[in-house]
């Protein structure tokens, strides 16, 4: 439209056109900012922890943000975005923040391995984190340590020491576990039978340390009643708590967090990763349908 035609246009018509144009622009901005479908973000620290899910991803696309690669697509019926965070709480928090800012996930899942603190949890078992806690976020005094939550930079309030997962996600994970075909733990000899995988709902402790100490294992179990220990989950849960994004941590047990942890990790990590990934996959299908869990899907990983 030329400037002359705009000058000749009646004032009412001109304002009407301007209003329509403004509404159209606003709608376009909202369409860019908001994803067309609900998305679940999935984070794993190491490449191997997300590889089983990436192998099942359809309509796969890659997007790089500040050097991190995010893969989008579908896992079964659910639209997802997957990324590798790298080890440790800072890396995990950075990746979680970028995922939330750029993909607006409806919920966020953390998958991968953990060391067992619970004597009843053995390698290749699975823990669903009803709560997460940063075991190394402490106040150190001459009389000992006091664990507490970080102060929320958005509100100034202190976060809870134990960040609770949404009950709805935990319940979905419990139902999904009952329908998941886990990889059994191979027996120690060819004559022994495979051991069934156990899934528990418990507490996952997070810190910037790979725990391979019986003394530390006992301390964390006694002080926190934690069932497993790893290096990312509670940091992601804190980010999600502050940004009001539902979060659930699911971990496969790779070792017993004692002096044999490194050797056990080499032996059991593959199966532990697969079992966590299988449960995550089935949780996604339940999230997509928002109703009772469908029949178990037979997966190759």
The dihedral formed by the CA atoms of 81, 82, 88 and 91, expressed in degrees to the nearest 10 = -50
When divided into structural domains, the chain yields a total of 2
Measured at the CA of 290, the angle between CA 287 and CA 292, to 5 degrees, comes to 105
Residues 6 or more apart in contact with residue 25 via CB below 8 angstroms: none
In a domain, 299, yes or no: no
In a domain, 152, yes or no: yes
Q: For residues 69 and 57, is the Cβ–Cβ distance under 8 A?
A: no
Residues 6 or more apart in contact with residue 249 via CB below 8 angstroms: 109, 110, 128, 129, 132, 165, 204, 233, 234, 236, 237
User: Which domain covers residue 8, as residue numbers?
Assistant: 1-34
Which residues are bridge partners to 116 per DSSP? 228
68 and 30 in a common domain: no
Look up residue 225 and give its DSSP letter: -
Distance, first Cα to last Cα, the chain:
59
107 and 14 in a common domain: no
Instruction: State how far the alpha carbon of 79 is from the alpha carbons of 57, 103, 106, in Å.
Output: 9, 11, 10
SS3 70: strand
264 and 166 in a common domain: yes
pLDDT values of the chain reduced to their tens digit, one per residue, 301 residues: 444 444 444 544 433 434 334 433 443 333 334 445 799 999 999 999 999 999 999 999 999 999 999 999 999 999 999 999 999 999 999 999 999 999 999 999 999 999 999 999 999 999 999 999 999 998 888 888 888 888 888 888 999 999 999 999 999 999 999 999 999 876 443 344 467 899 999 999 999 999 999 999 999 999 999 999 999 999 999 999 999 999 999 999 999 999 999 999 999 999 999 999 999 999 999 999 874 434 444 566 6
117 and 12 in a common domain: no
Residues 6 or more apart in contact with residue 66 via CB below 8 angstroms: 98
Q: What does the pLDDT read at residue 290?
A: 75
265 and 160 in a common domain: yes
149 and 24 in a common domain: no
150 and 47 in a common domain: yes
The count of other CB atoms within 10 Å of the CB of residue 18 is: 10
Catalytic residue among 227, 255, 258, 264: 255
In a domain, 295, yes or no: no
SS3 80: strand
Full-model pTM: 0.83
208 and 101 in a common domain: yes
Residue 164 is a catalytic residue: no
Residues 6 or more apart in contact with residue 57 via CB below 8 angstroms: 71, 73, 74, 75, 80, 82
12 and 51 in a common domain: no
pLDDT per position as a tens digit, 222-268: 999 999 999 999 999 999 999 999 999 999 999 999 999 999 999 99
Q: For residues 141 and 258, is the Cβ–Cβ distance under 8 A?
A: no
Dihedral over Cα of 106, 132, 266, 184: its sign:
negative
In a domain, 125, yes or no: yes
182 vs 178: CA distance, rounded Å: 10
6 and 83 in a common domain: no
Residue 49 is a catalytic residue: yes
198: domain CATH number is 3.40.50.1580
18 and 79 in a common domain: no
């Amino acid at each position: 439209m030329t400037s002359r035609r705009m000058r000749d246009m009646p004032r009412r018509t001109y304002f009407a056109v301007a209003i329509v144009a403004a509404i159209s622009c606003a709608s376009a901005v909202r369409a860019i900012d908001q994803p067309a479908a609900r998305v679940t973000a999935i984070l794993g620290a190491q490449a191997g922890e997300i590889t089983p899910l990436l192998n099942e991803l359809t309509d796969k696309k890659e997007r790089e943000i500040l050097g991190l690669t995010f893969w989008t697509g579908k896992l079964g019926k659910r639209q997802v975005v997957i990324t590798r965070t790298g080890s440790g709480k800072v890396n995990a928090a950075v990746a979680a923040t970028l995922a939330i800012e750029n993909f607006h996930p409806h919920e966020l899942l953390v998958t991968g391995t953990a060391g067992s603190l619970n004597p009843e949890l053995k390698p290749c078992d699975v823990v669903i984190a009803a709560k997460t806690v940063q075991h190394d976020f402490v106040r150190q005094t001459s009389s000992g340590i006091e664990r507490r939550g970080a102060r929320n930079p958005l509100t100034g309030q202190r976060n809870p020491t134990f960040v609770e997962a949404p009950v709805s996600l935990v319940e979905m994970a419990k139902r999904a576990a009952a329908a998941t075909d886990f990889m059994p733990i191979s027996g120690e000899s060819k004559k022994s039978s495979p051991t069934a995988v156990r899934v528990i709902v418990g507490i996952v402790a997070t810190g910037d340390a790979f725990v391979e100490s019986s003394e530390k294992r006992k301390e964390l179990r006694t002080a926190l009643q934690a069932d497993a220990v790893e290096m990312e989950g509670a940091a992601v849960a804190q980010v999600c708590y502050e940004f009001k994004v539902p979060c659930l941590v699911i971990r496969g047990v790779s070792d017993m967090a004692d002096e044999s942890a490194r050797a056990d990790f080499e032996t059991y990590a593959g199966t532990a990763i697969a079992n966590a990934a299988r449960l995550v996959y089935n949780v996604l299908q339940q999230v997509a349908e928002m109703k009772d869990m469908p029949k178990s899907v037979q997966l190759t990983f």
